[in-house]
Structure 1
Amino acid sequence: MSLKKFALVMFLATYLITPAFAQRDTISLNTIITKTAKYINSYPIEKVYLHLDKPYYSAGDTIWFKAYVTIDKHQLSGLSNIVYVDIATNQDSLVKQIKLPVVNGVANGNIILSPAAYKQGNYHLRAYTGWMRNFDNDYFYHKNIAIGNIIQNNVNAYITYNTTDAGGKPKISAAITYRQPGEPQLANKKVSWSITNPAGDEISKGKGTTDQNGVVTVVLNENATASLKNTTLTTSIDLGNRKESLNKFPLNAAIAQRDVQFFPEGGELTLGVRSKVAFKAIGANGLGLNIKGTITDNTGTVVAELASQHLGMGVFALLPEDGKTYKANITFPDGVKTTYDMPRIKPAGICLAVYNNDPDNLNIKLTANDPYFKANQGRIYYLVAQNGGAIYFAAQTKLENQSYSAAIPKSKFPTGIVQLTLFTERGVALSERIAFIKHNDMMNLTLTPDKKAYGVRQKVKLSILAKNSTAPVAGEFSVSVVDESKVPSDENAETSIFSNLLLTSDIKGYIEKPNYYFISKDADVDANLDILMLTQGYRRISYRNIITDKLPQIYLYPEQDGLEVMGTLRNNTGMPISKGNLRLQIAGKNLNAETVTDMVGNFKFSKLNFPDSSQITLSARNNPNSRNLTIAVTGDTYQPATKNPYMQDEVTDIDSSFKTLLTNSKRQYDNLHILKEVVIKSTSLVKKPSHTDYGIFSGLPVMADQQIAGARFKDCNNLLVCLPSMLLGVMVEDNNLYFMKNASNSNRLPLQVFVNGRPMDFATLTSMSGNDVETVEVFKTDGLSNINRNYQSDGIVSIITRKIESSKITYAQLQEMLPKGNLLTYNAQGYSVAREFYSPKYDLLKQGGGFGGDLRSTIYWAPKVKTDKTGITSIDYFNSDSKGTYRATIEGIDADGNLGRYVLRYTVK
Structure 2
Amino acid sequence: MRQYCLLLFLGFLTQFQLQAQQEEEFFNPMEVAFDKIYLHTDKPHYFLKDTIWVKAYSWSAVAGEGLKPSSSRTLYMALKNQETGERMFQMPVLLEEGMGSAQLALSDIPAGDYVLLAQSRTMADWESTYVFQRPIRVSEVGAVTLIRPSDYRQKPIQLPYQNGLRIGLNLSEGLYQLIIDRSKEQADSVFQLIGLQHGKPLYEQILSLHEGKNVYKLDPEKFLPGLADLALVNDRGEIVAERPVYFHPQAIPTLNISTKQQTYRPRERVQVLLNVLDEFGEGLEADLSVSVVDSKQVSWSEDMSTIVTEMELGAALGKDFDFSHQLFKQENSAKELNEILVHEKSRSALSNFNQQEEQFFWEGKGLKLKGRATDKEGKSLNPGTELEFLMYPKKGVPLMASATIGENGTFELEDLFFQGTAAVVARKIENKRKRTFSEVLESHQLTFEPLDLPNPTLQTRFEASKDDYSLDDIRRYTVIRNNRLEDRIVELDTFTVQRQPWTFGRPKETNDLTAWANVVLDVEEGMFDHFNVFQYMQGRVPGLIIQGDINDFGNPPAVFFRASQLMLVSRAELASKSGESSGNMGGGAAFLLDGVLVDPTIIATIPMTLVKRIEVFNNVAGSSAVLGSRGSMGAVNVVSRQIDPNQAMFERNNVTYVQGYNQSIPFPKIKSGDLEKDLFKTNWNATVYWNPYLGTDFEGSGNFEFVLNDLQSEMKIIVEGMSKTGQPIFGIHTILVEE
The yes-or-no answer on 1:839 pairing with 2:650 is no
Q: Helix, strand or coil: the match of 1:499?
A: helix
- 2 CA distance for matches of 1:681 and 1:431? 73
Structure 2 CA distance for partners of 1:149 and 1:849, relative to 1, 3 Å: closer
Aligned with residue 54 of structure 1, among 43, 57, 61: 43
Aligned with residue 177 of structure 2, among 363, 366, 381: 363
Which protein, 1 or 2, shows the higher relative CO under an 8 Å CA cutoff with sep ≥ 6?
Answer: 2
- 2 CA distance for matches of 1:513 and 1:546? 25
The yes-or-no answer on 1:615 pairing with 2:430 is no
- 2 CA distance for matches of 1:98 and 1:80? 16
Aligned with residue 93 of structure 2, among 90, 93, 100: 100
The yes-or-no answer on 1:91 pairing with 2:71 is no
- 2 CA distance for matches of 1:314 and 1:557? 38
Cα-to-partner distance string for 1:614-643 (whole Å, 9 max, x where unaligned): 21335799x998754678999566124413
Match of 2:299, as an amino acid?
P
Unpaired runs of 5+ residues, structure 1, are 1-20, 152-282, 290-310, 316-341, 685-811
The yes-or-no answer on 1:125 pairing with 2:116 is yes
- 1 CA distance for matches of 2:296 and 2:702? 28
Q: Helix, strand or coil: the match of 2:33?
A: coil
Cα pair 2:196 2:350 within 8 Å, conserved: no
**Structure 1 residue 430: deviation in Å?**
3.5
TM-score, normalization: structure 1? 0.53
TM-score, normalization: structure 2? 0.64
Mapping 1:874-885, distance limit 5 Å: 874-885=703-714
**Structure 1 residue 412: deviation in Å?**
2.8
Match of 1:169 in 2: none
The yes-or-no answer on 1:638 pairing with 2:451 is yes
Cα pair 1:33 1:391 within 8 Å, conserved: no
Match of 2:151, as an amino acid?
G
Aligned with residue 383 of structure 1, among 182, 186, 193: 193
Cα-to-partner distance string for 1:144-180 (whole Å, 9 max, x where unaligned): 21221369xxxxxxxxxxxxxxxxxxxxxxxxxxxxx
- 2 CA distance for matches of 1:905 and 1:625? 73
- 2 CA distance for matches of 1:681 and 1:481? 41
Mapping 1:418-437, distance limit 5 Å: 418-437=228-247
Structure 2 CA distance for partners of 1:35 and 1:149, relative to 1, 3 Å: farther
**Structure 1 residue 136: deviation in Å?**
2.7
Q: Helix, strand or coil: the match of 1:471?
A: coil
Unpaired runs of 5+ residues, structure 2, are 21-28, 374-380, 495-644
Match of 1:734 in 2: none
**Structure 1 residue 107: deviation in Å?**
0.7
Structure 2 CA distance for partners of 1:451 and 1:72, relative to 1, 3 Å: same
Match of 2:8, as an amino acid?
S
The yes-or-no answer on 1:474 pairing with 2:285 is yes
The yes-or-no answer on 1:558 pairing with 2:379 is no
Q: Helix, strand or coil: the match of 1:131?
A: helix
Match of 1:528 in 2: 336
Cα pair 1:76 1:104 within 8 Å, conserved: no
Structure 2 CA distance for partners of 1:65 and 1:817, relative to 1, 3 Å: closer
Aligned with residue 79 of structure 1, among 49, 52, 71: 71
Mapping 1:284-299, distance limit 5 Å: 287-288=150-151
Cα-to-partner distance string for 1:506-543 (whole Å, 9 max, x where unaligned): 22455645333134x4x554433222122x31152565
Cα-to-partner distance string for 1:110-147 (whole Å, 9 max, x where unaligned): 22222x3222x211111111221123355311122122
The yes-or-no answer on 1:906 pairing with 2:739 is no
The yes-or-no answer on 1:136 pairing with 2:136 is no
The yes-or-no answer on 1:70 pairing with 2:63 is no
Cα pair 2:276 2:283 within 8 Å, conserved: yes
Aligned with residue 660 of structure 2, among 821, 827, 830: 830
Match of 2:716, as an amino acid?
R
Match of 1:353 in 2: 168
Greater shift, 76-85 or 91-100, is seen at: 76-85
**Structure 1 residue 563: deviation in Å?**
6.6
**Structure 1 residue 838: deviation in Å?**
1.2
Cα-to-partner distance string for 1:664-722 (whole Å, 9 max, x where unaligned): 356346347625857999999xxxxxxxxxxxxxxxxxxxxxxxxxxxxxxxxxxxxxx
Structure 2 CA distance for partners of 1:660 and 1:63, relative to 1, 3 Å: farther
- 1 CA distance for matches of 2:244 and 2:159? 20
Cα pair 1:563 1:609 within 8 Å, conserved: no
Q: Helix, strand or coil: the match of 2:660?
A: coil
**Structure 1 residue 92: deviation in Å?**
0.8
- The size of the alignment, in residue pairs, is 554
Q: Helix, strand or coil: the match of 2:250?
A: coil
Mapping 1:294-373, distance limit 5 Å: 311-313=153-155, 349-359=164-174, 361-368=175-182
- 1 CA distance for matches of 2:471 and 2:76? 28
Cα pair 1:148 1:662 within 8 Å, conserved: no
The yes-or-no answer on 1:146 pairing with 2:9 is no
Match of 2:701, as an amino acid?
I
Structure 2 CA distance for partners of 1:388 and 1:843, relative to 1, 3 Å: same
Match of 1:443 in 2: 253
Cα pair 2:167 2:180 within 8 Å, conserved: yes
Match of 1:654 in 2: 464
Q: Helix, strand or coil: the match of 1:109?
A: strand
Cα-to-partner distance string for 1:332-365 (whole Å, 9 max, x where unaligned): xxxxxxxxxx89999x955433223353x53224
- Taking every aligned residue pair, what percent have the same amino acid on both sides? 16
- Aligned-residue Cα RMSD (Å) equals 4.7
Structure 2 CA distance for partners of 1:475 and 1:673, relative to 1, 3 Å: farther
